[in-house]
Structure 1
Amino acid sequence: MEDLHIPVKKKLETRSNTRNHVFNLVFQLEFFEPSHIKDILDKYYEILDTEEQIEKLENENFIPLKINKSIIEKQLYGLINNLSNIDEKIKECSKGWEISRIDKVDLAILRLAIYEMLFDDVPTKVAINEAIELSKEYSSEKSYRFINAVLGKV
């Protein structure tokens, strides 16, 4: 009997998964010029493809999620285009804190959440909750309090 390869239809990622990708890319903006964003995206997608291939080799039942590149790129480019407004809002809402003093992870989380609140279709409560979840996963133990306080003033 012939071994038939039946393609598996990938499920689309959740909005939280997509937000996680955008957060990772926004964080990279701290180390690279926004003018290099196309190269950063290409490399990021290449890494995700490699991780998917490794996962498939390790687990034959692995079904990858379909990455929503259009949302990732819409948010990333939208954030970059509004970065000066977003940073102004961070300065305004974090009295006594210079942007340069804010932890880079926290800054990326704040930028993404403020972009979603002011320039995207994400409800404020959702953006704040997701930012707090990102901070609990990627930042220091008490960072979520700072992020919550800043975003509560936006």
Structure 2
Amino acid sequence: MKEIFGEETKKKKAGIRLVREELFKIVFGVEATESTSEELEKAFDIYLSNNEDFVSTLSESQLKFLQTSVKGISENYDNIKDTIKANTQNWAYERIGLVERTLLIIATYEFLKANTPIEVVANEIVELAKEYGNEKSYEFVNGILANIGKTK
């Protein structure tokens, strides 16, 4: 029956992929309200207190990744946005959709500050773009990430 209606069985997310999706949700909320980097850390504190059951299921490395990413994005918010702006050709930063902008912020942080291979980050961010964005989101995100990856 699933084949008839085109339903797909989603892979269960685990590890850093699961945490990266939670990071997306946190940053998305902050970007939706056009908040500042300081408000990202406040939003994270609220997230932790409102999601204690979920947070308690995270491994030490998953929680550390989430904490480090939020702190790193917050500390480098302006630099991350400047990097994205410098790598979007013929497209104003303000015109980038909220989902795409959020995913680009996360990936750019990881490209610039984390030791995760670019291919791994790009792959997972593109998968999130397919899941949360429209049918063209992943192509747009992938193109910008390719530009950023070339400059790294």
Normalising by structure 1, what TM-score? Answer: 0.76
**SS of residue paired to 1:29:** helix
Which residue of 43, 47, 55 maps to 1:44? 47
**SS of residue paired to 2:25:** helix
Question: Displacement of 1:25 after TM fit?
Answer: 1.2
In the other structure, the counterpart of 1:124 is 118
Structure 2 residue 139 is the aligned partner of structure 1 residue 152:
no
Is 2:38–2:74's contact at 8 Å kept on the other side of the alignment?
no
Is 2:99–2:132's contact at 8 Å kept on the other side of the alignment?
yes
Structure 2 residue 20 is the aligned partner of structure 1 residue 19:
yes
Query: What is the identity, as a one-letter code, of the residue corresponding to 2:81?
Result: D
Count of aligned pairs between the two proteins: 130
Is 2:129–2:137's contact at 8 Å kept on the other side of the alignment?
yes
Alpha-carbon distance in 2 for matches of 1:38, 1:101: 25
Is 2:44–2:70's contact at 8 Å kept on the other side of the alignment?
no
- Listed as ranges, the matches of 1:5-16 within 5 Å are 14-16=15-17
In the other structure, the counterpart of 1:55 is none
Q: CA RMSD in A?
A: 1.8
Gap regions ≥5 residues in structure 2: 1-13
In the other structure, the counterpart of 1:82 is 76
Question: Displacement of 1:49 after TM fit?
Answer: 2.9
Structure 2 CA distance for partners of 1:87 and 1:125, relative to 1, 3 Å: same
Alpha-carbon distance in 1 for matches of 2:64, 2:77: 19
Alpha-carbon distance in 2 for matches of 1:98, 1:152: 18
Query: What is the identity, as a one-letter code, of the residue corresponding to 2:101?
Result: L
Gap regions ≥5 residues in structure 1: 1-12, 53-63
Larger Rg: 1
